[in-house]
Chains A and B, each alone.
Chain A
């Protein structure tokens, strides 16, 4: 035997094993996909008629004639929250004792922790990509051209990894998969205390204030910029910054808590 226990090989094997788990539970992917698609279809159905083409020439013409362009970012942000699965996967392994088994073997602890992060990232890309694809089919058309899709996906990816980190930290801290699951509750304030259905200018009072402090606001606005308004670099910058800071914060927390979880009691 010529033992190959390089970090990369271990990470590969553990990621593959976790992917198998995901594939064998396809139904677990559905709820988040349905919610994301729901945003796209239901809000387009309900509001597209008012704020779409008909609004042209009125002060309500923030969608510039294509409401899909306007609402698609919400759907994609919602899809990116699927990254929160990372924490759930990790805590499942802690609960089932699989984690302990790996610890009793000469495996890098970073490989053990990064594998679910990898799978979370893949999930974010696939779910967001699928929403994007549906959006394109039903008429999305970014003003900056197809490169806009790349911008939207990249922001969604960073944002999704932020949620992955958050769920890992919350899951490990609570020590139960319910804890990790509860982390997805953050979804509600994140999505609804933001300029989800109308631009920020149209919000008023406390909601306007809340939205200003919600990083989701800047993420959605950056996506909307390339979809609806064009290259507004300051808006884009704020979007990447908000997503990046959020991800940096939660991933740091995730690493700290995971390191603690792998230490001996």
Chain B
């Protein structure tokens, strides 16, 4: 049975001011025991998708099920099976970590005694034993995210939804969380996570769906996605703009990235000498050249038409040029 099965779900927010199609058409399937990554920029519709599957938001159109249970009609049953850590985490700052775990255990129906045992287990699991008696207010961003993860694990869910679990964390804290998430997967938990970090999707997710403007624009394992681009990426760097502009005319089909030009071709390494010859015969000086396998970044560029890193600026520029 599939852990999660999403078929053409759609979410339209209607308010007095306007109508927002936050999710236009999203479908994907998650097998049990895998980490599935939803990768997309700000505003892509990741959180909205997660909220719909976790029964917290109604689905405008389409169907979603968790372990074969329909999300819309059997929301109570679904909630029993899943753990959820949302993006805007609701943590009670005035309570201590220990109190939060204990309260959550009790709310899930554990007896007082069992709650105490489970609280200690979970504090240990997410590495907060030391800070257990401090108020959450005093926790660092990384500690809060770990606490949040721990709270979603209280009832030992088989399926875990994590909405941007590492956003805003430094690389070290991010690594700690990644290891934790992988360990959960190795213990049989299915994990659906969203992220706006390419390396996070690359590192963690067994399979990835790229989501942009409410649509899934690509799906597969990281390797499949990269292979889908076909060939290698050759990158030329130039000392000055004149060379760069000239090279653009000579090489054709390039993509510019600052002072670099990229071109995607089959069997890249063997083609470099030919390109260099063309360029130098026209007097264009190349400062460096390299061939590499495509990265997820290249995949993203290919399917969306822009790069994820710094996509904010690009989107903003797009908006402004519309005015």
- Interface set of A (CB-CB < 8 Å, partner B): 1-5, 9-10, 13-14, 16-17, 20-21, 24-25, 93, 96-107, 264-265
Contact = CB atoms under 8 A, between A and B. Distances in A.
Nearest to B92: A98
Q: Which of A1, A10, A16, A105 has the most CB of B within 10 A?
A: A105
Interface in B175-225: none
B314 interface: no
Nearest to A25: B94
A16 B57 CA distance: 29
Interface in B100-131: 103-104, 106-111, 114
Contacts of B80: 106
B91 A106 contact: no
Given A5-B107, A97-B88, 9 more contacts: A1-B109, A1-B111, A9-B106, A20-B99, A24-B135, A93-B90, A100-B86, A104-B84, A106-B79
Given A104-B54, A106-B79, A3 B99 contact: no
Interface of B: 13, 54-58, 76, 79-80, 84, 86, 88-95, 99, 103-104, 106-111, 114, 135, 151
Given A103-B56, A106-B80, A265-B13, A96 B91 contact: yes
B109 A4 contact: yes
A86 B284 CA distance: 73
A262 B135 CA distance: 28
11 contacts: A2-B111, A21-B92, A96-B93, A97-B91, A99-B90, A101-B151, A103-B56, A104-B84, A105-B108, A264-B56, A264-B58
Q: Is the interface of B mostly helix, strand, loop or mixed?
A: loop
B109 A97 contact: no
Nearest to B151: A101
Nearest to B95: A20
Nearest to A99: B90
A99 B90 CA distance: 7
B90 A101 contact: yes
B91 A98 contact: yes
A96 B90 contact: yes
Contact of B110 (A3, A24, A99, A104): A3
Contact of A4 (B55, B89, B111): B111
Contact of A13 (B55, B57, B107): B107
Closest 5 CB pairs of A and B: A3-B109, A97-B90, A98-B90, A101-B90, A5-B109
B90 A17 contact: no
A17 B94 CA distance: 10
B89 A97 contact: yes
Given A24-B94, A98-B92, A101-B90, A106 B76 contact: yes
A100 B55 CA distance: 11
Contacts of B111: 1-2, 4
A181 to B, nearest CB: 18
B57 A265 contact: yes
B94 A21 contact: yes
A90 B103 CA distance: 17
B56 A100 contact: yes
A21 B58 CA distance: 32
Contact of A1 (B56, B89, B92, B110): B110
B13 A21 contact: no
A100 B103 contact: no
A103 B55 CA distance: 9
B109 A96 contact: no
Contacts of B91: 96-98
Nearest to A9: B106
A2 B111 CA distance: 8
A106 B109 CA distance: 10
Nearest to B80: A106
